[in-house]
Homo-oligomer: A and B are copies of this chain.
Amino acid sequence: MTDHLSQTFAALADPTRRALLADLLKGEAYVSDLAKPFLKEMSLPAVTKHLKVLEKAGLIKKTKAAQWRSCQINAAPLKDATDWIEQYREFWEESFDRLDEYLKTIQAKKKTKGSKNGRSKT
Contact = CB atoms under 8 A, between A and B. Distances in A.
22 contacts: A1-B13, A1-B14, A5-B12, A5-B15, A5-B18, A6-B13, A6-B14, A9-B9, A9-B12, A18-B84, A25-B87, A73-B91, A74-B91, A74-B95, A75-B91, A75-B92, A75-B95, A78-B88, A78-B92, A82-B82, A82-B85, A85-B85
Copies of this chain, how many? 2
A100 to B, nearest CB: 14
A46 interface: no
A80 to B, nearest CB: 9
A84 B73 CA distance: 15
Nearest to A73: B91
